Structure 1
Amino acid sequence: MNEKNKKVAIKFLEKWKAFVTKRKEILNKHRQECLNTFFDKVAKKKMDAKQSNDFVNKTKMLARDYSTYQQRYQVQKHIIALQKAKLEEQNRLIEELKYNRIIEASRQSVDAMKDEIRKTYFDIDRQLKPKIKCLTNELKLQQIEEPSLVLHCLKVPRFLQRMEKRAREREEKHAIIRERRRQMEEERVRLKQQAELAKAEMDKEEKIKRMEELREKRRKEKIENIRRKQYAARLRSLIVMADLHYERTLKTKYIRQLKILLQIKRDNNEKAKIHYAFQLKKNVFLHWMWYTEDMWCERNYIAEEFDRKKKLSQALKQFKLNVQGYILKKQVADDYYDLFVTQMVFRKFKEAISIVKKEQDLKFQKAIKYYNSNLLFKIFTCWRTLPALNALKREQEARKARWREKVLQVVPDYVPPED
C-alpha cells in the first residue's frame, strides 16, 4: 500500500512540476513582452528627444555643412575621374594584348603558308618548276640548283599575284597597329602625369579636411559619452524597479498555490494514518480469530471433525464474500480518491489545453485553405500546359516514326525494342 501511494505521489508530483514549469514559461513570456513594450516606449522617447536635439544642431550647422558637402563632392568627382582613367588604361592594355595575339597568329599563318608552298614546290612536276622561278627568291630556296630553273617566266600566275596582294595588306595592317600602339603609349604617359598632379593637390586638401573631421569627431564623442552614461544610469534604475515588481508578482501568485498543495498533502497524510490503523486492527483481529479457531479445532478434532469441516467451509465461503465486498468497497474508495485528486490537479490544465487546442484548430484550418488553394493552382497550371505537352508528345512520336522508317530502310529486319 505504501508503494502504491508512493507511486501515485511521484506521478502527480511530476504532473505538478510540468504544470508549474509551463505556467512559469507563460508568465516569463508575458513578463518579457511587458518589458519589451516598456523598453520600446523608453527608446521611442529617447529617439524623439534625440531628433529634437539633432534638428536644432542641424539648423546651426547648415551653412558649414554646405561647404563641407561641396568640397566632398569635388573630391568624389576627382576620384571618379581617376578611376575612369585607370579603366581606360586597362582597356588599352587589353586591346594591345589582343593586337599582339593577332600579330602572332598572322606571323604563324605566314610561316605555315611558306612551308606549304615549299612542300608544294618540291612535290610538283619537274616540267612546271621553271614557270614558278620567281618563288625561289621569295621563299629563299637556295638548295635548289637545277638547270631546268634557268628559264624565265613570261607572266606571273594569278595565285601569286593574290598572295603578294595579301602580303601588302598585312604589311599595311601592321603599320596601322604600330602607329596606334605609339599613340596609346603617349596617351598613357599623359594620363599618368595628370593623375600625379591631381593626387598631390588632393592629398593637401584631404589633410586639411581630415584635421577638421577629427576635431568634430572628438567633440561628438564627448557628447555621446555623457548621453550614454545618463542612459545607462536610468536603465539600471528601471531594471531594479522591474525586478522588484517581478518578485512581488511571483510571491502573490505562486505562494497561494503552494499553500493549497501543502493543505492537500496534510489531508492525504491524515487519511493515510486512519487507513493504516484500520488495516492494522483488521489484520490483528483476523490473526487472533484464526488462532482461536485452530486451537478449537485441535481440541474438538476427534468429536466434531465432520461438523467442523462443514461449518468451516460455510464460514470460509461467507468470509470470502465479505472480504471480496470489502475489497470492492476499498477499490471504489481508492478510485474515488484518485478521481478527486486528478480532477483537482488537472483542472488547472484545462484552460491551457483549451487555448492550445484552439490554436491548433486555427492552424489546421489555415493549412487546409493553403493546401486547397495550392492544389487548385497546380491543377490549373497543369491544365494550361496540357496542350503543349500533348503537342510535344505527338512531335516526339512523329520523330520516332521517322527514325524507325530510316532504320528500316537500312536494316529491313530490324525490330524496335519495346518501351
Structure 2
Amino acid sequence: NPVKSKVNVRMVKPEDVGLIEKMKEKTCLHDGNVTKGKKLTTETISKIFKEPFENRFLAQQKIIQNQMAVIEKQRKTILELKAEHWATKSKLNLKLAENEMVKAHAAFGKKPAPTIKTIERNTALKEMASQREKEIKSKTDLLMERWMERQEYCKQLYESTKMRKRRIEEEKEKEKIEQQEKEKKEKEEQKRLNILNKKKEQQLAKEKERIALSEKLLTAELNKMATNHYNNVLIKKVFKAFKKISSDVHSTADYCTKMYERKLMGKALVAWILETKKSALIKNQVADKYYCTKLMKQCWNSWLGLHREYKMKVQVSEDMYCLKLQERMFRRWAEFAAERYLENCCKTELAERLHRRQLLRRSFACWRDLPRVMFVQREKEQRRRAWRQAVQELIPDFSPVFAEQLEV
C-alpha cells in the first residue's frame, strides 16, 4: 500500500462509500427504465394470452421468467453505466488534483519576496528563505511521488476489479451455453421417442385393419357355404314333398290344413318378431336418452368443479401478484432512499473536505504573509524613531508617545 500523503486529493472511490455492494443488490431502475420494463412485460403478457390456453400456472411462470430476465438485463446495464460514471469521475478528479499540485508547485517556486527600498536584506534572512524554499521543494517532490504511487495503485485495483467482473461474466455465459445444450439434447430425445411411438401406433393400426379384413373375408365365405347348404336342403325337402303329394293324393286335405296352420303360425311369428323389434328399439332409445342425460349431468358437474377451482387459482394468483408487486415497490423505494442517503453523505463529506482545504489555504497564505507585515511594521517604527531623533535634535524637550506605551 502507498504511503498516505498529507495533501487531500479530491478523489472518491465507489469502494470507499460502499456503493458497489448496493449496486449489486439493486434490482430496480429509475422511472424511465421502469416504464420501459412495464411496456416489455405487457407485450410479453399479450403475446402469451394470444396463444391457446394450456395452463394458468405455467403461463404465470413464463411471465415471471420473462420479467426476471428483463430485470437482470436492466441491472447489468445499470452496473456498467455506474462503473463508467465512477471511472470518468475519478479520472476528472485525478486531473483536477494534478492541475492543483502543478499550480501549487509553481506558486511555491515563483512567489516573489517583498522588496524593501530603504533597508537592505540581511544574509541570514536570505539563507533562511533559501533553506525554506529547499524544504518546500523537497516536501512537494515527496508529495508528488506519493501521489503518483497512489494513482498507480488505484489503476491496478480498477484493472483487477474489471478482470474479475469479466471472468464472472464469462463463467455465466459458459453455464448458459451448457444449459442450452442440455435442453437441446432433451428436446431431440423427446422428438425421437415421439416418432418411435407414432411408428408403433401406425403398425398396430395396420395389424388391426389386416385382422378385420381377414375376419370379413372368412365371414363372407361362411355365409356363402351356409346359403349353398340351405338351398340344397330346401331342394331336397321340396322334392320329397312333391313326391309325397304326387304319390299320395288322398293326403292333400290334411296337407292343406297343415299348410294353412303353418301360414297362420308364420304370420303370427312375423307379427311377434316385428313387435319385439319395435319394443327393443324403443327401449334402446330410452336407454340412450338416459345415458346422454346422465353423461351431460356428469360433464356439467365436473365442469362446474373445474370452473370453481380455476376461479380460486386465478384469485390466488392475482393476490400473489399484487403482494409481490407491493413488496418489490417497497424494496425499490428503500434502496432508492438508501442510495440517496449515501449520495448525501458523500456530498457532505466532500464539502467538509473542501471547506477544510480552503481554511488551510487561507491560514497558510496568512502565515506566509506574516514576515512581510512584520517587516512593514518594523520599517514604520524605524522611520518614527528617525523622525523623533531629528525632532529631539531641534527640540530637546520633545517626548512623543509610542504605540507600545499606549498598549501598556
Tell me the TM-score normalised to structure 1 length. Answer: 0.25
Tell me the TM-score normalised to structure 2 length. Answer: 0.26
Q: Work out which structure has the larger RCO, using CA pairs closer than 8 Å and 6 or more positions apart in sequence.
A: 2
